[in-house]
A and B are shown apart, each in its own frame.
Chain A
Amino acid sequence: MENKENMENAENVKDTAAEKTEETADAITAETTDDNNNKENNNTDNTDSGDNVKRNSETKKVVTIEMPRQKGIKMEEGMVVGVNVVSEERDKKTINLQLDAKKVKKAKNKQLREEKKRSRKRAVKEIGRKFGDRIREGVKDEAPKTTDKDMDIRACRLEMNFINVIAMILVFAVVAVMLIVIKRADGKSKFENRELADFPEISVSQWLSGNFTDGVTKWYTDTIPYRDDMLSLSSRLTKFFGLHIGKEDDKVILDGNRGDIEKQTLSGTVTTQKVEIFTGTPPVGTDETDESLPGTSGETSGTQQSASETTSQTQSTPQQTTLPVNNDNTTLSNGIMIVGSGKSVRALECYGGSFSYGKSYAEFVNKYKKELGQYVNVYSMNIPTAFAYYCPDKYKDDYGDTLDNINNIRSYLDGVADVDVYSVLKKHTDEYIYSRTDHHWQPLGAYYAAQEFAKVSQVPFDELSTYEKVVEDDFVGTLYGFSGHNSELADNPDTFTYYKPHNNNDLEVYYYSPDFTDKSVRSTLFFKAYEKINLYSTFLGTDQQIAEIKTQCDNGRTLVIFKDSFGNALVPFLTGSYSKIYVVDLRYFTPNAIEFCQNVGATDVLFATCMFTCTSSKANYIENLRVQNKTK
C-alpha cells in the first residue's frame, strides 16, 4: 500500500519536474545555496558585490558535482516552504547546458516564474504525503546503501529539518493557543501579597503614554494560567543549577542584591543618654501652649531648611518625596538568604543599613522631642529583623550588622528614650519570635518588645498568661515570593500564633483614613486574614488606616505610635498600658505629625520601625511627616 502510494507520488513528481526541466537549473541556482557555506561565511571584510558572485559560483559548483550522482528521486535542500522544487535524474551535460541556457534566459525570468508557480501548485499537493513516505523509508532502512553517503545524509538532514519544523510549530502553536484559551489567573496572587495585573484600558492617551502596551505585556505574563504552580515549578528547576551539600546549617542559598554595609566605626562604647520619663499630667494652660507655639514656628522655618538639606541627599524636596510609598511588601532591595532545610528552613532578608541614614533617623526623631516639649516622652524602638539573630556566623562579615547600626543610632539620640529591643530578643532566640517564611516577627517577639517598652515608659503591663492564644497553621509568608518561590519554604510553613487581650471586647477601636478623617464605626483590633500569606495583617487590617484605641486603662496617658508594619504586632500588648493609643503608619499618614500629636493630646510618642526603615532612605518619612501639611 505504502509502496504503491510512493510510486504514484514518484510519478507525479517526475511529471512535475519534467515539465519544468527548462527552468530547474535556474531554480536550483537560486535555491540550492549550500547552507553550511553561508553559515560559516561570517567574515566581516568589506562585502562588495563580489560576495554575491561568489555565492552563486559556489552554488553552481555544488550543483554540477552532486547532480549526476543522484539516483532515483531525491529532494534538494532547496525545498521552499509551501512550495517545493523537485529535481530528477539527469546527467552532467544537461546541467551545464542548462546553466548556459540560464544566462540567455535571464530576460524571461518573469515568465518562468509564473510557469514555475503553476507547477508548484501541483507539487504542493504532493508534499505532505511525500514527506511521510520519506520518513518511513528512512526508518525502514537506516542506511540505504546508495553510492553516495553524503546525499543520504543530506536527505536525512532534510527529513530531520522537516520533523524539527513540525515539532517547533506544534509546540509554539499549542502553547500559544493554550495561553489564549485557558482561563487566566486573576485577582490576588496567593504567594506574593499583591493584585495581579489587569488588562489595561484602551484609549489613545493610554497608548501614547506607553501604558497600554506595557500593560498588555505585563498582564500577559502576570496572569498566566496556573501561575502559582508554574512559578513553583520554575523555582524547582533552578535548584539544578547548584550543588547543595553540607550540614543542615551550612545549607545556604543566596538570592538577590547585596545591600550596603557599614561596620562599626564608632568609639568602642556607646554612651546613651539617660532620659527622664515624664509620667505626671502636664500643666495645662493656654499660656504654656501659646508660649511654645512661636518658639516652634520660629524653629520650623529653620528646620525646614535643614529638612531640604537632608533630603537633598535623596534628591527630592520634602513635600514631594517620592519614596516607595507603595506597600513595601512588594519590593525588596536586599537579597534573601535561605538557611537550613526541612522543618528548620528559614528565609532571611539580608540586612544592609546605612550609618548616615541611621544618623538622620536619630536627628529626625530628636526634632520631635524638641518640638513636642518636655512633657511628651519620645521613644525610639529599632526592631531587628530575623537576620540579626539567625544569619550563620560565617556570613556575618558579608552583611550589615544590626547592633552596629542600632548603636550608631543611639549615639545620636538626644532627649529621646531608647527601647533596647535588640538585647531583649537576643535572650529569646530559641523561642518562636520570628517567622521563618515571613519578613515580620511573630507576635511573641512583639510581646517581649512591648514588655521592654512598658518598662522604659513606666506603665503597667499585662503578662502573656492573661491573653487568649490563637493558633493559625500553614502560614507561608512573603519571603516565599521574594525568594523566587523556594519550594522548601512552601513545603514547611510557619505556625502563626497571636494573642488576644482579655479585655479585647471592651476595647473601643476606630479607624480613620490616612488624612485622619472618615472615622469608622466601632471596630476591632483583629481581623480575619483572607489569605494565609497575609496572616500578619491580622493586626489592624491594613497599614494605611490610622487606628484609635480606647482602653480600660485609666492612667490617662495617650500613646501615638509611628510605625512600619512591624509596629502593628505591638499594639495588642499595650492595651493594658495606655488609656488611648493612636497607631499611625509612617508611609501613608498625610496630616502634620506634630500637630496631630498635639491635637490628640499625646503624652508618649513611640517610633517603632524595623531596621530596614530606620537605616535606609525610608527614615526620611519621619522628617516628611513633621514638616508636611502644616495648618498653623
Chain B
Amino acid sequence: MVFADLFFLYFFLPVCLVCYFATKKLKYRNFILVLFSLIFYAWGEPWWIVLLLLSSMVNWLLGMAIEPRREKRSGKFLLATALIYNIGILGLFKYSGFIAQNINAFAGTHLREDGFGLLIVEKLNSVTGLNLKTAALPIGISFYTFQILSYIIDVYWGKVKSQRSFGKFLMYVSLFPQLVAGPIVRYADIEAEIEDRKTKLVDLSEGFSRLILGVSKKVIIANNLSSIVTTMFGDKDNGYAGLSSVSTVGTWYGIIVIALWYYFDFSGYSDIAIGIGRMFGFHFNENFNYPYVSKNITEFWQRWHISLGSFFRDYLLYVPIFGKRRKYGGLFLVWFCTGLWHGASWNFILWGLYYGLFIVLELKIGRKRMKKLPSVLAHIYVTIVVAVGYGIFYFEDLPSLGRFFKNLVGVGGNAFADAVTGTSVFNNLFLLLAALIFSTPIVKKIRSLGDKSVGACITMNTLGIVLNIAMLLVSSLMLLSNTNNPFLYLRF
C-alpha cells in the first residue's frame, strides 16, 4: 500500500487510528500496530511478508544472542552472521539481477537477469501450482534491512539493549509509517518509545498537520511537477523519448524541475511517515531539512535524506578496511553504496560517486575557504551540482544519460530553446513558484510568528487549520486521477 492513495487515507488509516485509540493498554496498542503494519505490507506484497517475518525472527534471536557475548569471539562471529544474513538477503533480492546483467555483458554468458526474487516465486508457483505475485523486489527491503542492521550493530556496540519481546521487535521492523519509504529509523532513537509511549494532544495535532503537509507536498506539488518532467523528457517507459527534441534551455529547466519534484516527493513521504508516527507517539528524526538552502554539497547531504546519510556515516565510513588510506577509501565506499542503495543500476552508482567527488573536492578546498564564497555563487553552485545530479538519477540507461549530457551542454544537435519549454513554464508558473517558495524554511518562519502573542497564536493556528482542511480536500481530489502518481521507492 502507498500513502498517496485514497484507500489508505480514508479507509486504512482511519480504521487503524480508531482501533489504536479504542484500546488503552500499550500491549494491545502494540499488537494493533503490528497487525495493521503487516496488513499494510501484505497489501502490496502478499507473499514477501514471509521474508519480512523471517528477517525479524532471525535478527531478533541474533540480537539476543549477541548481547551477552559482546566481548567474546563468539559475539564477533554472531555479528558477522547477522551482517552476512542481512546484506546477503538484500544482495540476493535487490542486486542479483544487476550482477547477472553485468556478468552477461562482460563475460558474454547468458545468466537470467530477472533476479533472485523472481526465480524463487516462479519456482514456488511451478511447485505448488499457486499464482504468487511475481514482484522481483520485495518493497521496502532496503529500508527494513537497514533498520535491522542499525539495531544489530548498536546491540553489538552496547548502545542499545537487545529487545526481548519478539512482538516489540517486529513492531520496530514493520512499523508501517516508515516501512516502505523510510525514513530509516534507528532502534536507539525510538527504543524508549517502543517500551512506553503516550500520544499527547500536541502529538495528535502535529501528527495530523504533518500528515496533511506531506500528502499535499506529494500530491499537489510533486505529482504535478513530475508531469512537467515527462513533458520535457518522456519517461522510462517510452525510453525518454523527449530527449530527441528537448532543447538546451529545456534540459536545464527540466532538471531543475526534477530536483524540485524529488524533494517534494521524498520529503512529502517522510512528512507523512513522521506525522503518522507521531500520532502513535513515536518521534522520528527529521529526514529532510530544507536541503535547497545549502551552500555546499557537504551541507546538502546533511540536509537531504538525513537518515540514510547518517546511517552510512555511522556504520560504514569508519569501517577500517582501507588501512591508512581509509579516509578516501571510506568515502568512496560510502558514496558508492549511497548510489547503489537507490537502485541496482549504473546510473545510480554514478550518481553516488558524482556526489562523492564533490564532497572530496570540498574537503580539499576546506570548510573555511568554502565559506568565503559569496552566498549567491554558493547557491548557484549547489543548484547546478544537485540538478545535474538528479539528471543522472533520472535517466536510468546509459545511452539516454549520454544524450542528456549532450543536450545539457548543447552539442546534441537539438535547438537552444524551444516553444514547449516556454509554454510549460507559463502553464505551471504558480506551481513552480510555490515549489520554490516551499523548499525554503519560509513556512516554518511564518508559523513561528504565532509564538509572539496570543492573538497571533490564534490567527496563525486558525489559518493553519483552515489550510489543513483545504489542502487535504484538494489533495484528495487530485488523487482521483492516478495517471501521474509515481511511486519512486520501488527501486530502493
Contacts and interface: CB of A to CB of B under 8 A. Distances in A.
Most B C-beta atoms less than 10 A away, residue of A49, A257, A395: A257
B154 to A, nearest CB: 9
B133 A208 contact: yes
B398 to A, nearest CB: 18
B202 interface: yes
Interface stretch (B174-182, B347-355, B469-477): B469-477
Contacts of B131: 205, 208-209
Contacts of B199: 80-81
Given A213-B42, A220-B11, A233-B477, A258 B231 contact: yes
Contact of A47 (B6, B135, B186): B186
A237 B478 contact: yes
B461 A164 contact: yes
B455 interface: yes
Interface string B458-486: 10011011001100111011111111000
Contacts of B206: 35, 39, 161
A159 to B, nearest CB: 8
A486 B322 CA distance: 59
Given A164-B205, A210-B44, A257 B481 contact: no
A258 B420 contact: yes
A31 interface: yes
Nearest to B186: A47
A217 B1 contact: yes
A231 B21 contact: no
Interface stretch (A58-66, A170-178, A284-292, A438-446): A170-178
Nearest to B431: A241
Q: Chain A: interface residue count, which band?
A: 35 or more
Nearest to B284: A42
B246 A256 contact: no
Given A209-B132, A395-B419, A153 B453 contact: yes
Nearest to A253: B427
B7 interface: yes
B74 interface: no
Contacts of A118: none
Contacts, number: 276
B328 interface: no
B286 interface: yes
A220 B6 contact: yes
A42 B310 CA distance: 11
Interface stretch (B106-114, B237-245, B374-382): B237-245
A312 interface: no
A345 to B, nearest CB: 15
A168 B286 contact: no
B110 to A, nearest CB: 15
B397 interface: no
Interface string A173-213: 10110010000000000000000000000000101111101
Most B C-beta atoms less than 10 A away, residue of A164, A207, A238, A243: A164
Contact of A164 (B245, B313, B464): B464
Contacts of A39: 206, 286
B474 A237 contact: yes
Most A C-beta atoms less than 10 A away, residue of B419, B474, B479: B419
Given A153-B454, A234-B481, A397-B418, A163 B465 contact: yes
Interface in B306-329: 306-307, 309-310, 313-314
A465 B36 CA distance: 69
B201 to A, nearest CB: 4
A260 B482 CA distance: 24
A576 interface: no
A208 B461 contact: no
Contacts of A335: 230-231
A242 B429 contact: yes
A169 to B, nearest CB: 8
A507 interface: no
Interface string A363-403: 00000000000000000000000000000101101110000
A126 interface: no
Nearest to A354: B241
Contact of A168 (B208, B427, B481): B208
A235 B286 CA distance: 33
Nearest to A155: B454
B201 A81 contact: yes
A335 B424 CA distance: 12
A152 interface: yes
B418 A260 contact: no
Given A143-B453, A175-B10, A81 B286 contact: no
Contacts of B313: 44
A241 B458 contact: no
A83 B1 CA distance: 32
A149 B237 CA distance: 58
Nearest to A117: B24
B420 A220 contact: no
Nearest to A172: B14
A167 B468 contact: yes
A221 B43 contact: no
Contact of B419 (A52, A168, A233, A394): A394
30 contacts: A31-B198, A39-B286, A42-B285, A44-B302, A47-B186, A51-B189, A79-B201, A80-B200, A153-B457, A157-B461, A160-B461, A160-B464, A165-B205, A168-B205, A172-B472, A176-B10, A208-B46, A211-B133, A220-B7, A221-B6, A224-B480, A241-B430, A242-B426, A243-B430, A256-B231, A260-B244, A333-B237, A395-B419, A395-B420, A484-B481
Interface of B: 1, 5-7, 9-11, 13-14, 21, 24, 42-47, 130-133, 135, 159, 186, 188-189, 192, 198-206, 208-209, 212, 224, 227, 230-235, 237-239, 241-242, 244-246, 283, 285-286, 289, 302, 306-307, 309-310, 313-314, 415, 418-420, 423-424, 426-431, 450-451, 453-455, 457-458, 461-462, 464-465, 468-469, 472-474, 476-483
Closest 5 CB pairs of A and B: A160-B461, A210-B133, A42-B286, A161-B205, A258-B242
Given A80-B198, A163-B465, 15 more contacts: A35-B202, A42-B306, A44-B285, A44-B302, A46-B159, A46-B314, A77-B201, A142-B458, A149-B453, A152-B454, A160-B461, A171-B469, A227-B480, A234-B477, A258-B232
